[in-house]
Amino acid sequence: MRNVMAIAQKEIKAYFDSPIAYVFIGFFALLFGYFFVALLSAFTTQSMQMMMQGGGSMNVNQQLISPLFLNTSVIILFVLPSITMRTYAEEKRSGTIELLLTSPLTDVEIILGKFFGAMTLYAALLAVTLIHIGTLFIFGKPEIWPVVTSYLGLLLMGGCFVSLGLLISSLTKNQIVAAMVTFAVFLLLWVIDWISQFTGPTTQQVLMYVSITQHLDDFTRGVLDTKHLVYYASFIGFGLFLTTRSVDSERWRG
């Protein structure tokens, strides 16, 4: 555990010592802010209209927060590849991987350390959005539970992307290649969502189960379903497992 912590700390330091972390956080805050403002103004216009027509007020959670978080998953799609790209690729390029692999560490410790390091930066990104969501609580009365489950869902979904990103980074020496491939794979997993809408019912079920983002839906609506938890947990576990295999096979090849 101490080893995992040491690696994770090193990763976090590496993010925050260089401008990367700040660039990502800034970029993320900007995009999220844009979505926030756009959705909020649409929401206010709509609820004004409804009030004028004498209808009841709209539900902040369902009409604003849920779509906002679903849109966030798209921003994450763009940002996470650049966070995970360097994890292994850069160590291999600069030769520091020799330090890690000749230290008394197991592969699992190294991989978990890197996983938690990337997850910490990702959590820091999400933390930025607490400001926006916080204002909603100041000016309105949204339910808190769906917000909590949304964040949990986003964390888990990000975990899947991070474990996949680690795997891809472990396959190359080149950060840029790692980022491009990771992004392409993420995009593919995301596109499955739409494709599923144009297929037959059975295929649709299968595709929807495979899609990472589909599982986020229930989380944003305050539903904690074990089906989704199991899906995310096994996705993360499998990704990390494949990364250990990739690092190990690299060893044998030399």
89: CB partners within 8 A, 6+ apart: 169, 170, 172, 173, 174, 175, 177, 178
Of residues 5 and 130, the one with the C-beta less far from another protein: 5
Residue ranges in 11-50 that form contacts with another protein under rule CB under 8 A: 13-14, 17-18
Nearer to another protein, 102 or 226 (CB): 102
Out of 1, 53, 200, 253, name the contact with another protein by CB under 8 A: 253
Exposure string for 166-200, b = 16+ CB within 10 A, e = fewer: bbbbbbbeebeebbebbbebbeebbebbeebeeee
What ranges in the chain are assigned the alpha helix state H?
2-17, 20-52, 60, 66-84, 86-94, 97-101, 107-139, 145-169, 175-197, 201-210, 216-220, 226-253
Site residues for another protein, 104-133, by CB under 8 A, read 104-106
Which of 31, 101, 185, 233: binder of another protein (CB under 8 A)? Answer: 101
Nearest distance from C-beta of residue 116 to another protein, angstroms? 15
Output 75 or 85, the one with its CB closest to another protein.
85
Question: How far apart (Å, rounded) are the C-alpha atoms in residues 116 and 120?
Answer: 6
Rule CB under 8 A: say whether 1 interacts with another protein: no
45 or 249: CB nearest another protein: 249
Q: How far is the CB of 23 from another protein (least distance, A)?
A: 14
Under the binding rule (CB under 8 A), the answer on residue 221 touching another protein is no
Report the residue from 52, 54, 102, 197 that binds another protein according to the rule CB under 8 A.
Answer: 102
* Closest separation in Å from C-beta 151 to another protein: 30
Single out the segment in contact with another protein by CB under 8 A; choices: 35-43, 101-109, 133-141, 215-223: 101-109
The rounded distance, in Å, linking the Cα atoms of 244 and 114 is 12
* Cβ neighbours of 208 (radius 10 Å): 17
- Is residue 227 near another protein by the rule CB under 8 A? no
> What token pair was written down for 112?
């978990």
**The binder of another protein chosen from 21, 53, 59, 95 (CB under 8 A):** 95
User: Who's near 220: CB < 8 A, 6+ residues apart?
Assistant: 65, 66, 69, 70, 146, 149, 150, 153
Q: Please select the residue that binds another protein; options are 2, 197, 200, 201, rule is CB under 8 A.
A: 2
* CA dist., res. 49 & res. 87, Å (int): 50
Binding site for another protein (CB under 8 A): 2-3, 6-7, 9-10, 13-14, 17-18, 94-106, 251-254
